[in-house]
Structure 1
Amino acid sequence: MSKDWYTHFHPDEHAFADKATDWIERAARQHDVKRTDFLDPRQAVILTALANREPDVALHLNGGYPQAERKRAILSPDYRDPSDESPGIQVLSVTSGDDKFLALDHGDYMGAILGLGIKRDKIGDIHVLESGCHCLVAEEIADFIRLNLQQVHRVHVMTELLPLDRLQTTAVEFEEMNLSVASLRLDGIVSDVCRLSRAKAVIPIKAGRCRVNWKVEEDPSKPLKEGDVVSLQGFGRFKVLEVEGVTKKGRMRLKVGRYK
């Protein structure tokens, strides 16, 4: 990849862009088929942009179901259909007979799996169900998790591996908030959602601890728009659900949803 393309990416993204370029070149020049770990949406955008510049490479993204947020990518020479390759994804079902099991949330499951020494890149979307949890995992570490995941947040659990056609998904749930803000600036909305002063909201943004649509954003004045997903390290993430209009006093009314 020409170094000129680095201007399109945040410095934190250069290492991934280098890896992506190597995958693409191997597929184009050495006829390799590459299946990546799970990518977040921003990484998928970067890989797609780079792959589209190479006519001899085909790309397919698969997260186990159509609406998946995190997906594995398959890169192949253009004469092969990457969608014919196995996505390498299995469903880890987690259940328990303990009443405390019902109180477990997404973070509890994620923490328990990562606590086994598993890298985040090997884990796809996690769906917390009334009956337990279905977690999409890379097939190469699926058996290891099944054998070693014995408790989640001190609750003893049972695990089973299922094929993708038995996956149960859940809709994203939000805690909705109605805000009245002076503008759609990032720092102002983060301040209201995270209950921080404007001055305190600016500090983590400028320090590179804020992402907008999974891309690092260090400009506190960046205007947000409907559909934007914002995450602030240590404070979770939220989505701008709707920009509802302007009040009589000239302030912006909007609805945001904090991810539960």
Structure 2
Amino acid sequence: MKTEVYGHFHPDERQFVDKAWEWVTHAGEYHETKLTEFLDPRQGFILQSLVNRHPDVIVRWEGGHPEAERKRALVAPDYRDLDHEDMELKVLAITSGEQKFLALEHGDYMGSILGLGVKRGKIGDIHVLEDGCHVVVAADIADYLSMNLTGVHRIQVSTEVLPLSSLRNSEVKLETMDLTVASLRLDGIAADVTRLSRSKILAPIKAGRVRVNWKVEEDPSCALKDGDMVSIQGFGRFKVLEVGSLTKKGRYRVQVGKFV
């Protein structure tokens, strides 16, 4: 079965596939349940694909709201009713009396939380609001974060742990950009979006700091297509919204949405 499982996924994903297949088989064969950490959409796709292959296993997903990007999964035997199971999620509400606080961005919050030694898998979506920030977190680290997160980007903050029902989620805002590019290569499009030179964008790509659809991509020539999500550490994220027709000079018209 292992070879059959691996056949559909990238070799780099083998470690996660192994782990996810173990959750599935233990649920199906030994009647165990597994509550995962927060999974990104690619990991979620892999786990759901594996669950679909086992007739005796079900999975429940929860990330705080229907459009959540990062979610926890509860993998269980198919006779279990998972609707009322505790998914062990809390909301960390972050506020501040300082005016500069309102200028903080997603990356500022993420950096400060991870700087406390918390693993990424314990943190779900981060919702930057007009008057603060709501972070979906694993229940077992909520109190630790509340006690230890006293500042974000050198701004003093206050925190409170709330139930998941109190989550206020932010709307995803995209700043659209219309580009004309010589090719659909990752380095070319990323350079235009970040306004860096082609040579400067190569450094984060080759250092493994760029992800395409949540997978590390170190090949600058990787071709992007409609729907691809690209994140560049330190420069934010963008999505390829549409690859349009060619111009008379043979260049591609590409519309991207930059997350703001």
- Give the residue type in structure 2 aligned to 1:87: M
Deviation at 1:139, TM superposition (A): 0.8
Distance 2:40 2:196 in 1: 27
Q: Which residue of 2 aligns with 1:143?
A: 143
CA deviations 1:57-110 (Å, max 9, x no partner) are: 101111110000000001000111333322211111111111221121111211
Q: Which residue of 2 aligns with 1:253?
A: 253
My pick for the range that moved more, 157-166 or 200-209, is 200-209
My pick for the range that moved more, 218-227 or 85-94, is 218-227
- Give the residue type in structure 1 aligned to 2:12: D
Deviation at 1:190, TM superposition (A): 2.4
1:73 and 2:66 aligned: no
1:242 and 2:225 aligned: no
The share of aligned pairs that are identical, in percent, is 62
Distance 1:205 1:35 in 2: 33
| Cα 1:183–1:17 shift into 2, 3 Å | same
Distance 1:124 1:244 in 2: 34
Give ranges in structure 1 of 5+ residues lacking alignment: none
1:166-185 equivalent positions in 2, closer than 5 A: 166-185=166-185
Deviation at 1:235, TM superposition (A): 3.6
1:9 and 2:9 aligned: yes
1:98 and 2:93 aligned: no
Deviation at 1:127, TM superposition (A): 0.7
| Cα 1:105–1:194 shift into 2, 3 Å | closer
CA deviations 1:20-73 (Å, max 9, x no partner) are: 111112111221111101000111011111111111110111111000000000
Deviation at 1:10, TM superposition (A): 2.7
Deviation at 1:200, TM superposition (A): 5.7
| Cα 1:224–1:123 shift into 2, 3 Å | same
1:3-152 equivalent positions in 2, closer than 5 A: 3-152=3-152
**TM-score relative to the length of structure 2:** 0.90
| Cα 1:202–1:160 shift into 2, 3 Å | closer
| Cα 1:181–1:63 shift into 2, 3 Å | same
- Give the residue type in structure 2 aligned to 1:58: I
SS of 2:38's equivalent?
strand
SS of 1:82's equivalent?
coil
- Give the residue type in structure 2 aligned to 1:153: H
Distance 2:157 2:130 in 1: 14
Q: Which residue of 1 aligns with 2:231?
A: 231
My pick for the range that moved more, 74-83 or 124-133, is 74-83
CA deviations 1:190-237 (Å, max 9, x no partner) are: 232234554665675566543221133455444322221112344432
Aligned residue pairs, count = 260
| Cα 1:181–1:38 shift into 2, 3 Å | same
Distance 2:70 2:180 in 1: 32
| Cα 1:96–1:175 shift into 2, 3 Å | same
My pick for the range that moved more, 186-195 or 149-158, is 186-195
RMSD: 2.2
| Cα 1:234–1:145 shift into 2, 3 Å | closer
**TM-score relative to the length of structure 1:** 0.90
SS of 1:84's equivalent?
coil
Distance 2:76 2:169 in 1: 29
CA deviations 1:171-207 (Å, max 9, x no partner) are: 1223332210123233332232234554665675566
**Do the aligned residues in 2 keep the contact of 1:58 with 1:81 (CA within 8 Å)?**
no
Distance 1:104 1:207 in 2: 27
- Give the residue type in structure 1 aligned to 2:99: D
